[in-house]
């Protein structure tokens, strides 16, 4: 539910030269998502704060300047449930090492809006992250882009989010009922993963792969630049 009042948030922007987000709903197939799932983004924030998880509300917009396909070597691991000590790589000819195509994105941009006290806390942690920041796989390092706050440059910029009925949707991630832009795609993605990785919460999101301009929106805020922001909860 969107409040009728303005919300103070901190705007942070990340850049990754290369990143890939595998769609776990297609097991055995290397299908990639065009946008990082909220669970991946919350994992990045947890790396900054050093916490096991950061189940905080956040707004996000993401896009990539290009995409490609790479050939990658896979080494399946055998696990004997009746005898857990029997483990190891699957032998060749028994479904072992294989080559698969891996889709990836290039020049990935991620913009976050982190509201309230949690946003201020995380913004402070991002100035000196506890662990390396990665967007996707372990080798996909993310870099923070400086924000201009008046005359100074900073990691996170304070901004005001105002309730709105129309704003620029563009590449913002929205709930399934957030807008009716015809160019939007519906993606089912993980919104949060438990620290023990045994429980995953899923949700449907709308995302556009192109700029849309101002559009009617539902349950959204508007930032100071006219961007629609949906505060997504885990």
Q: Residues 54-73: pLDDT tens digits?
A: 999 999 999 999 999 888 77
Name the burial class of residue 60, with classes exposed (0-12), middle (13-18) and buried (19+) by CB atoms within 10 angstroms of its CB: buried
Residue 29 lies in a domain: yes
pLDDT score, position 100: 76
Average confidence (pLDDT) over 18-22: 92
In a domain, 160, yes or no: yes
Domain CATH for 147 = 3.30.70.3120
Note the pLDDT tens digit of each residue in 141-194. 999 998 877 667 788 999 999 999 999 999 999 999 999 999 999 999 999 999
Residue 66, pLDDT score: 94
Q: Is 121 helix (H, G, I), strand (E, B) or coil?
A: helix
Residue 97 counted as domain residue: no
Q: What is the pLDDT of residue 185?
A: 95
Report residue 89's pLDDT band, with 50, 70 and 90 as the boundaries.
low
pLDDT tens, residue by residue, 32-48? 899 999 999 999 999 99
In a domain, residue 39? The reply is yes
Cα dihedral sign, 122-128-132-137: positive
Residues facing residue 111 across a β-bridge: 13, 61
157-188: burial string, b at 16+ Cβ within 10 Å, e else: bebebeebeebbbbbbbbbeebbebeebeebe
Which domain covers residue 30, as residue numbers?
7-66+108-229
- Whether 71 maps to a domain, the answer reads no
Q: By C-alpha distance, which of 234, 233, 232 is closest to 62?
A: 232
Q: How confident is the model at residue 195 (pLDDT cuts 50, 70, 90)?
A: confident
pLDDT at position 176: 96
SS3 call for 126 = helix
Phi, psi of 47 (to 5 degrees): -65, -35
CA atoms within 13 A on the CB side of 201: 13
> Angle at Cα 209 formed by Cα 203 and Cα 38, nearest 5°?
30
pLDDT band for 28, please (50, 70, 90 cuts).
low
Tally of domains in the chain = 1
Residue 101 domain-assigned (yes or no): no
Rounded to an integer, what distance in angstroms lies between the CA atom of residue 5 and that of residue 142?
Answer: 33
- Alpha-carbon distance of 20 to 81, in angstroms, equals 31
Give DSSP secondary structure letters for 141-177.
Answer: B-EEEPEEETTEEESSEEEEEEEEEEEE-TTB-EETT
- The rounded distance, in Å, linking the Cα atoms of 204 and 67 is 23
């Amino acid at each position: 539910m969107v409040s009728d009042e303005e919300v103070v948030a901190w705007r942070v922007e990340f850049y990754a030269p290369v990143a890939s987000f595998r769609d776990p709903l297609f097991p055995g197939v290397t299908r990639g998502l065009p946008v990082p799932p909220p669970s991946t983004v919350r994992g990045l924030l947890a790396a900054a704060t050093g916490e096991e998880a950061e189940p905080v509300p956040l707004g996000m917009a993401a896009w990539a300047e290009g995409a490609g396909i790479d050939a990658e070597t896979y080494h399946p691991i055998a696990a004997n449930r009746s005898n857990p000590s029997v483990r190891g790589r699957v032998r060749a000819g028994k479904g072992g090492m294989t080559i698969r195509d891996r889709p990836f994105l290039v020049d990935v941009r991620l913009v976050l809006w982190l509201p309230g006290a949690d946003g201020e806390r995380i913004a402070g942690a991002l100035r000196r992250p506890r662990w390396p920041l990665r967007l996707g796989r372990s080798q996909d390092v993310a870099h923070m882009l400086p924000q201009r706050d008046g005359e100074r440059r900073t990691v996170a910029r304070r901004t005001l989010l105002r309730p709105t009925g129309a704003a620029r949707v563009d590449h913002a991630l929205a709930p399934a009922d957030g807008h009716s832009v015809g160019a939007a795609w519906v993606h089912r993605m993980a919104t949060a993963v438990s620290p023990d990785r045994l429980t995953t919460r899923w949700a449907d999101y709308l995302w556009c792969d192109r700029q849309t301009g101002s559009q009617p929106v539902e349950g959204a805020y508007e930032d100071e630049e006219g961007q629609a922001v949906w505060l997504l909860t885990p």
